[in-house]
Amino acid sequence: MKTKKRLITIMMALFFGFNAIGANYRAIYDFEYTKDSINSIIEKDILYLEIAEKGSFCFSYHTYYSDSLWNTPNGRAVWGQLFSAAIAKDGTNATSFPYKRSTFMVTKRYASDTLRIKDVIDQDIYEYDTFKSEFHWQLCDSTKNINGFEAYKATCCYHGREWTVWFSPDIPFSDGPWVFCGLPGLILEAYDRDNLFSFHLEGLTSNPDPKKDWLDEGKKTDRISFLRKDYQYRKNLTRIFNAEMGTNVPENKNDTRYLDGLEPDFKQ
């Protein structure tokens, strides 16, 4: 049933006409990342890829929703009610209230090689650029059907992680979730060799109200400097949380590979 619903959602986009001038679309991806493979702890997020005529914007729906609530007094009151209800139901294991997940936001301009990344460490906003030309895709002979679309396989080693993706020329956008791009069709699936990260297209619809970057201008930095700083912050996050909240949440020392993030080449 879920697969059928996904297929219907994606197929509906065909009726809008992909080549309509000025048309906007939203690709919706499930993003999963493993925090502890030994204990099978998987975090899940939903990414929106807002596709327009001249470029795209990718961000976390959950982070957008949480930030939207916190930006107004009424929203903060709603958040407080949802948080209290979640704690009353599940205690310290509560996850049903709105909270930030992925904090990266990726802006692509189709006519430019530059990818603009905006991300957050604690309360500090940062901006840096990376480049489409750093993708060196290897096209493979393998094909498979994904939700009614013929998908083609491609592989790439990108910033320290080996990726396999499946793209479909039937959806003529050279784009994908996160920073992925540069193939002759929209990327429907992507996963790394270690199965720590995966992206799966769940829907594609017309988008009359595309979301835009809602954060203030960030501090300018470079990719490696940001990733190193972010790594140190996340490495000590449990300790910081316990100190601020007076709790004693145990640190995860079983499998810390997730701390390396999507781009582990900063450790080289």
Residues 185 and 170: beta-carbon distance below 8 Å = yes
Q: What are phi and psi of 112, to 5 degrees?
A: -125, 150
| pLDDT at 4 > cutoff 70 | no
Q: DSSP 3-state assignment of 188?
A: strand
> Which has more confidence, 238 or 145?
145
- Across residues 53-81, what is the average pLDDT? 87
Sole residue written with tokens 């509560």: 94
d(CA 120, CA 217): 11
* Chain mean position to CA 176: 10
Q: Across-strand partners of 166?
A: 153, 189
CA distance 187 to 163: 12
Q: Are 63 and 102 in contact (CB under 8 A)?
A: yes
Cα 54 from chain centre: 20
Residue of 22 and 80 predicted with greater confidence: 80
205-226 pLDDT per residue, tens: 999 899 999 999 999 999 999 9
Domain boundaries, the chain: 2-60+135-267
Q: How far apart are CA 56 and CA 77, in angstroms?
A: 32
Read off the pLDDT of each residue in 246-262 and give the average, rounded to a whole number. Answer: 70
Q: What's the average model confidence in pLDDT over 59-64?
A: 96
pLDDT digits 0-9 by tens, 27-36: 999 999 987 6
What pLDDT, on a 0 to 100 scale, did the predictor assign at position 254?
58
pTM: 0.85
Percent of residues, the chain, with pLDDT higher than 90: 60
How much is the mean pLDDT over the chain? Answer: 86
- Alpha helices (H) along the chain: 2-12, 61-70, 73-90, 223-235, 237-245
Rounded to an integer, what distance in angstroms lies between the CA atom of residue 126 and that of residue 216?
10
pLDDT tens column, 75-124? 777 777 777 777 777 776 667 677 788 999 999 999 999 999 999 999 99
pLDDT recorded at residue 94: 63
Q: Is the pLDDT of residue 249 over 70?
A: no
Task: Taking residues 227-247, report their average pLDDT.
Answer: 77
Which DSSP helix (H) or strand (E) runs through 59?
A: strand 55-60
Maximum CA extent, the chain: 56
Residue-wise pLDDT tens digits, 139-183: 999 999 998 999 999 999 999 999 999 999 999 999 999 999 999
